């Protein structure tokens, strides 16, 4: 098998691959579907991940105000 950064195979005495250690920082997104299917990722972990990707209320206000300034306002 090919050596890939972040993937380490554990072998038995005969040299057969028996288990693998995978760096989730490097390959976590590619494995997410599999981990969800086997129940290794809980809904709480998914919530925490989505929560950490969210923005604060202050950031939302800044983005909305910036967007509103770009709209073509008509004077009547």
39: left (phi over 0), alpha (psi -120 to 50) or beta: left
Per-domain residue ranges for the chain? Answer: 7-70
In the predicted model, what is the mean pLDDT of residues 7-27? 92
Report the pLDDT value the prediction gives residue 68, as an integer from 0 to 100: 93
Is there a contact between 24 and 45 (Cβ–Cβ < 8 Å)?
no
pLDDT class for 60, splitting at 50, 70, 90? very high
Report the pLDDT value the prediction gives residue 50, as an integer from 0 to 100: 82
pLDDT in tens, 18-56: 999 999 889 988 988 888 888 887 767 777 778 888 999
């Amino acid at each position: 098998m090919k050596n890939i950064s972040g993937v380490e195979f554990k072998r038995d005495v005969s040299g057969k691959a028996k288990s693998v250690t995978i760096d989730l920082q490097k390959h976590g997104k590619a494995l997410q579907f599999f981990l969800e299917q086997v129940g290794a990722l809980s809904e709480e972990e998914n919530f925490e991940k989505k929560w950490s990707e969210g923005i604060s209320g202050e950031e939302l206000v800044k983005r909305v105000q910036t967007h509103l300034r770009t709209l073509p306002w008509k004077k009547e």
